[in-house]
Amino acid sequence: MRKILLALLVAAPLFAFINQASAADVKVKTGIEVLRDRGFEGLAGKRVGLVTNPSGVDSQLRSTIDILFNAPEVNLVALYGPEHGVRGDVYAGGKISDSIDEVTGLPVYSLYGTTRKPTQEMLKGIDVMVYDIQDVGVRSYTFISTLGLVMEACAPLGIEVMVLDRPNPLGGNKIEGCYVEQPFNSFVSQYRIPYVYGLTVGELAVLINEEGLNRGQKGDQEPVKCKLSVVPMEGWTRDMLYEATGLPWVLPSPNIPFKDSPMYYAASGVCGELYGFMNIGVGYTLPFQVFGATWLDPVKLKTELESYGLEGVSFRTIWFKPFSGSQKGELVGGLQFFFTDYEKARITEVQFYVIQAVAELYPDKKAFEVINGYGLFDKVCGTDYVRKELSKGYKVNEIIDYWRKDEDSFRILAQKYHIY
């Protein structure tokens, strides 16, 4: 016991130093911090609603809920919970009920239960709706869909939507994937934008508002435009990945636990919608960072993938036992992958080459022949073209031009809305 106490006493100054160094290393002020520095400009004298989750924090991990609730200038009157809830206590896909927040006593309205769009009753008396959630820069991540539905609901009532901006963890330059096509608009593909869009959530909100892209969850309504403001960050630049910001990473959802999780989500999440095909690490300690199956020979798969000469990505063999979900408790062989040159890597295309490699090595395990339905795959891709063409011969070169066809035009469009 004395040795333990001595070790703690010796380590205490080191921990203090590390904490101070971490604070000193913060290079970016998020929207909530800029808003606070400006004396909560735009909120004084107004009844405020807040859409947030546990990722809505400042650089010292103080919750945006608590910051606004405790600010004398702000009258925070209601909270709105997207998927996983305002306090992050609901697992992926779990429905959320209206409730009372135990910390503040405020009503919490569910935006992932019987409705995903705020009702007029939920918005009664609200003057400004504040949105503060860490985005991941990928179209299928549902919080940006919630944002659009909030904007849609607030528009006819004249309620301003204020977005507190945060870094795009994929940086501000990476754009990959084709636009969403009808009839594949859905909660995981709500806007006609690429799969990876290279904008902060504030920039994206302005783009969808100004370009008429907010057309309902199925993309079949007349475009809606709301009164919108963005509180920008300070210090963020487009070449920054999240690590460079110095900010702490608070997982915005259970399977995005690390600062680099968003890039792996972009690289394997589409493949993860092929239920019954492969395990992508969800239910293990490496969510979205592996491709594996009980019948797979990792060495053969590694050799096949390396023969493709993919830039900026490397693979290593791995064996693991998932503790939940697909293939729980079974020994799974596969590959863990790493981005060794992020700028050169085509991150979203890794999963398509895995599908090709498996078809080459295991003709009886072709992705679209062993799965239990593919509807969500098409929705996440934003088209059925990828599946239909890939399933003909399982060659990525048959879909690559289509997957990339909208990137240049969107890059030009997006530049109009760059704040940074």
Whether residue 300 sits in one domain with residue 240:
no
**Regarding predicted confidence, which is higher, 69 or 14?**
69
First-to-last alpha carbon distance for the chain, in angstroms, is: 53
277 shares its domain with 232:
no
Q: For residue 13, name the pLDDT band (cuts at 50, 70, 90).
A: very low
User: Is the confidence at residue 17, as pLDDT, over 60?
Assistant: no
Half-sphere exposure of 229 (CA within 13 A, CB side): 12
Are the beta carbons of 322 and 283 closer than 8 angstroms? yes
Q: Which amino acid is at 203?
A: E
Q: Same domain, yes or no, for 38 and 155? A: yes
Q: Is residue 103 included in any domain, yes or no?
A: yes
Would you say residue 12 has pLDDT above 70? no
Does residue 15 sit within a domain?
Answer: no
The per-residue pLDDT for 20 is 37
Specify the pLDDT at position 190: 97
Residue 176 to residue 410: CA distance in whole angstroms = 10
Q: Is residue 152 part of a domain?
A: yes
Confidence of residue 5 (pLDDT cuts 50, 70, 90): very low
Is the per-residue pLDDT at 19 higher than 70?
no
C-alpha dihedral over 365, 375, 275, 360, to 10 degrees?
20
235 lies in the same domain as 132:
yes
Question: At 309, phi and psi to the nearest 5?
Answer: 65, 40
Residues 232 and 300 in one domain: no
Q: Which of 40-44, 90-94, 139-143, 287-291 has the lowest mean pLDDT?
A: 90-94
> Domain boundary at 248, 280, 310, which?
248
Better pLDDT: 113 or 124 = 124
Choosing from 248, 281, 314, the residue where a domain stops is: 248
Give the CA distances from residue 395 to residues 35, 62, 360, 386, in Å, rounded to whole numbers and listed in that order. 50, 49, 9, 11
Are 288 and 397 within one domain?
A: yes
- Of the pLDDT bands very low, low, confident and very high (cuts 50, 70, 90), residue 8 is very low
Count of the separate structural domains present in the chain:
2
Q: Is residue 77 domain-resident?
A: yes
User: Do 202 and 279 reside in the same domain of the chain?
Assistant: no
The stretch 265-285 carries a mean pLDDT of 96
What pLDDT does 94 receive? 61
Q: Would residue 17 count as lying in a domain? A: no
Containing structural domain, residue 161: 25-248
CA angle 150, 159, 41 (to 5 degrees): 105
Q: How many CB atoms lie within 10 A of CB 329?
A: 9
Q: Is the pLDDT of residue 6 over 90?
A: no
**Residue pLDDT, tens place only, 306-344:** 999 999 999 999 999 999 988 999 999 999 999 999 999
The rounded percent of the chain whose pLDDT value lies above 90 is 87
Whether 191 and 288 map to the same domain: the answer is: no
Q: What is the pLDDT of residues 235-258, one digit of tens each?
A: 999 999 999 999 999 999 999 999
Over residues 131-165, the pLDDT tens digits come to 999 999 999 999 999 999 999 999 999 999 999 99
Q: Which spans in 159-313 are helix H?
A: 201-210, 242-245, 261-268, 298-306
Local confidence band at 92 (pLDDT 50, 70, 90 cut-offs): low
> Do strands 99-100 and 107-110 pair parallel, antiparallel, or not at all (unpaired)?
antiparallel
What pLDDT score does 14 carry? 38
Per-residue confidence at 25, pLDDT binned at 50, 70, 90?
A: confident
The CATH number of the domain holding residue 394 is 3.90.1150.140
Sequence-distant (≥ 6) Cβ neighbours of residue 191 within 8 angstroms = 139, 144, 148, 180, 208, 213, 214, 219
Asked whether the predicted pLDDT for residue 199 surpasses 80, the reply is yes
Same-domain check for residues 209 and 181: yes
Whether the per-residue pLDDT at 124 is higher than 50: the answer is yes
Q: Which residues pair with 132 in a beta bridge?
A: 52
Let me know if residue 351 belongs to a domain. yes
20 found inside a domain: no
Count of C-beta atoms within a 10 Å radius of residue 138 = 28
Residues 234, 330, single domain; the answer is no
Let me know whether 299 and 193 are in one domain: no
Q: How confident is the model at residue 96 (pLDDT cuts 50, 70, 90)?
A: confident
Share of the chain above pLDDT 70, in %: 92
Q: How confident is the model at residue 375 (pLDDT cuts 50, 70, 90)?
A: confident
pLDDT of residue 15: 35
The per-residue DSSP string of 32-91 comes to HHHHHHTTSTTTTTSEEEEEE-TT-B-TT--BHHHHHHH-TT-EEEEEEE-TT-TTS-S-
Co-location of 227 and 129 in the same domain:
yes
Residue 109 has pLDDT above 60, yes or no: yes
CA angle (55 as vertex; 71, 91 as ends), nearest 5: 125
